[in-house]
Amino acid sequence: MDSSRNTYIWPGSFEMHRGGVLESPSVVYETWGRLSPEADNAVMIFTGLSPSAHATSSPADPAPGWWEEMVGPSRPIDTRRYFVVCMNSLGSCFGSTGPASISPATGEPYRLGFPVLSLEDIASMGRAVLEELGITRLAGLVGPSMGGMTAQAFAAMFPGTYERLLLISTGPRAEPFSIALRSMQRELIRRDPEWRDGYYPPGAGPIQGMRMARKLGMMTYRSAAEWQQRFGRERIPEERKSGDGFAMDFEVESYLEAHANKFIGQFDANCYLYLSRASDLFDIAEHGGSVEAGLARIDAARVLVIGVPTDLLFPVHQQRQLAEALRKAGREVEYAELDSIHGHDSFLVDMDKFRPPVKAFFDS
Amino acid sequence: MDSSRNTYIWPGSFEMHRGGVLESPSVVYETWGRLSPEADNAVMIFTGLSPSAHATSSPADPAPGWWEEMVGPSRPIDTRRYFVVCMNSLGSCFGSTGPASISPATGEPYRLGFPVLSLEDIASMGRAVLEELGITRLAGLVGPSMGGMTAQAFAAMFPGTYERLLLISTGPRAEPFSIALRSMQRELIRRDPEWRDGYYPPGAGPIQGMRMARKLGMMTYRSAAEWQQRFGRERIPEERKSGDGFAMDFEVESYLEAHANKFIGQFDANCYLYLSRASDLFDIAEHGGSVEAGLARIDAARVLVIGVPTDLLFPVHQQRQLAEALRKAGREVEYAELDSIHGHDSFLVDMDKFRPPVKAFFDS
């Protein structure tokens, strides 16, 4: 059962949270470890906007996963003890049904014909995957970043189906600064003439728009403090310069350029638009009338919330808000504020700081 | 002498700080108040990247200035007592010589033939304007934002020529986060096909690129806290929506759109590129070998540094750095950290907080 890459197909019509229907949509998921005979040792991980289901390596797929140091044998989410499931989000482009997939009705990619995507839809598909695996109650529900909002949606929609809840660098809903940022990323993609209103040929698309969206993303995934430490005002050597005088002077510009170029071709532009907007639209308050009431539906026996003060995308007051509201609702909540300079991406980068609290939470 | 709009023309060749020459460049400046017979009551204001010389209204030009509430009779920089000078930066497009001006050598706009612009060039032109006015020593030297870096350049280049120094929301040099931001703004402009490598027709140009650069600017001129308070998750009413589903959902998106559209046609794209890069290139360390040594050249009798903790563009640790280094160099320094939620733009917006310390500084 180790690291099988599986596909779950929803039988028949899947009604989307904000209207519209998908016919027999599928999601790809990977698993690690063994499900106990009592099926009581499962951990479900919902991902951020861009990762695939490949959270960690395994004999079947030895490529390093996006959370390699966090998940695995003798790692904080220990696959000798836990049966870990990670799903590629509905709407994404790493095997799951999304705007880049072929619509059975037309034989063409959905493109903008894909219905409005909500994180609740991703949560519902996750629930179906778990049912197929024979899991009625999770030992752990985990979500960093956008995945943390998906985990909240899951938790509010399916109370009584999880024991522990781990929320990392996330919030109960997007605040206007993050909305503005993502809106601008979407506009950069949509204004690229190669986007062609979503009708770019498969494999091609708005490369410049995606590059610029990625650069803008990097500015909020990392932190000013980290860049000051790494780059300061270091210049690009003359021999590496090109173009007019405005091209590039500083190493930080070269770093952003390299990251933007690495992203090219990795992610389908329409999928990015749908997932980005789903992040803006999510609001736990829709699950109870207010943020507090929505969070009060979450009945985990134990909660761990982790935040990082240098995070610009999900600022740390949002993690404090989650912890406080869940505590007020009577949950047993631990809150860890980690002193990392890596901003929003700290949970992917600063593993020495993140491993201990996650390990303690899952060991107990 | 009240609010005359004047033009100063440099006689002959002006050698640029980083190489290149301009023939008889000119700058526009405005003045308010009366110069005392001893010429000892002058205050010079260097502007941020985008303002004109019109800092405040006057009988001759009653349009409100960009710092209307700060400068004028009985205002903090009191024109009944002080003779105030504000200059449109060299390289800008509000009357001063810049990339949009006609080159006497070619009869065509300079465009990218304009030499590399440095804030030191702006400071030198400012010094020449003061000499023409018969001012050898300023009662006050003032600079917010980019103007604060120009003021530092002036102060380091011309010691002994100023009494008070007021630095607002500025730093001794750009840090990599701000460089990355401005680099991305420049790339947005340069990648707009209508930029045409700088050869757009006068009055036309990269409108979309300028719009997107402005939106990105707004994200760092203001603050997440302010937007949370103003907009929260307020939606745009259905009747005001247009375009595909990705166009706009939230009021914060509409606000950014309105600001971006207001900026169209106000500022020449090439001038923006030059001034933006000049901000990145400035480093007070070039005036002494280190930041500390550069700042130690500044011999104001009294210094006031004002910072705002919500500023993303010139973070408050930079204002603390300025104050500490100047104090270490033996200057009498006051430091005011104002609790404003308006981010970098606070000095233009949150006048109730800014007026008192500026008034106290200039009254004494």
ipTM metric = 0.91
Give the neighbor-by-neighbor strand order of the sheet with A83-87: A5-9, A26-32, A83-87, A42-46, A138-144, A162-168, A302-307, A332-337
pLDDT bin (cut points 50, 70, 90) of residue A1 is very low
Is the pLDDT at A2 greater than 70, yes or no?
no
**What does the pLDDT average to over A342-354?**
96
Bridge partners of B8, per DSSP, are B27
Mutant choice from A184, A190, A276, A277 vs B, greatest count of B C-beta within 10 A: A184
Task: Tell if the CB–CB gap between A191 and B176 is shorter than 8 Å.
Answer: no
> For residues A86, A90, A93 and A95, what is the CA-based torsion angle, rounded to 10 degrees?
60
Sign of CA dihedral A261, A267, A268, A271: negative
Q: What is the pLDDT of residues B241-300, one digit of tens each?
A: 776 778 789 999 999 999 999 888 889 999 999 999 999 999 999 999 999 999 999 999
Task: Tell if the CB–CB gap between A252 and B179 is shorter than 8 Å.
Answer: yes
> Which candidate, B138, B98, B88, B93, places its Cα nearest to that of B14?
B98
Is the pLDDT at B14 greater than 50, yes or no?
yes
Catalytic residue check, B145: yes
Would you please indicate which residues of A are annotated as catalytic (active-site) residues? Answer: 145, 311, 344
pTM: 0.94
**Amino acid B1: pLDDT:** 42
Closest residue, chain A, to B190 (C-alpha): A246
State the Cα–Cα distance between residues B95 and B26, nearest whole angstrom.
8
**Amino acid B263: pLDDT:** 84
Q: What residues in A contact B256, CB-CB < 8 Å?
A: 180, 183-184
Min Cα–Cα distance to chain A from B252, Å: 6
For Cα atoms B125, B318, B50, give the angle at the middle one, nearest 5 degrees: 40
Bridge partners of A305, per DSSP, are A167, A335
Task: Tell if the CB–CB gap between B176 and A250 is shorter than 8 Å.
Answer: yes
Instruction: Supply the DSSP symbol for B56.
Output: S
- What domains, with CATH codes, occur in chain B? 5-176+283-363 (3.40.50.1820), 178-273 (1.10.1740.110)
Catalytic residue check, B344: yes
Q: Which of B344, B345, B346, B350 is catalytic?
A: B344
Cα–Cα distance list, A248 to A256, A293, B176, B209 (Å): 11, 50, 13, 18
Task: Tell if the CB–CB gap between B177 and A228 is shorter than 8 Å.
Answer: yes
Which pairs with CB-CB distance under 8 Å and at least 24 residues apart come from B205-211?
A: B205/B268, B205/B269, B206/B269, B207/B264, B207/B265, B208/A191, B209/B269, B210/B263, B210/B264, B210/B267, B210/B269, B210/B272, B211/B260, B211/B261, B211/B263, B211/B264
State the Cα–Cα distance between residues A46 and A142, nearest whole angstrom.
6
Q: What is the pLDDT of residues B350-363, one digit of tens each?
A: 999 999 999 999 99
State the Cα–Cα distance between residues A123 and A120, nearest whole angstrom.
5
Query: What is residue B325's three-state secondary structure?
Result: helix
- Asked if residue A179 lies in contact with residue A317, where contact means CB atoms within 8 angstroms, the answer is no
Buried b (16+ CB within 10 A) or exposed e, B138-172: bbbbbbbbbbbbbbbbbbbbbeebbbbbbbbbbbb
pLDDT bin (cut points 50, 70, 90) of residue A360 is very high
Task: Tell if the CB–CB gap between A179 and B215 is shorter than 8 Å.
Answer: no
Paired tokens of B220: 């760092």
**What does the pLDDT average to over B78-91?**
98
**What does the pLDDT average to over B110-130?**
98
For residue B114, give every residue at least 6 positions away whose Cβ sits within 8 Å of its Cβ, in sequence order, or none: B22, B91, B98, B99, B270, B274
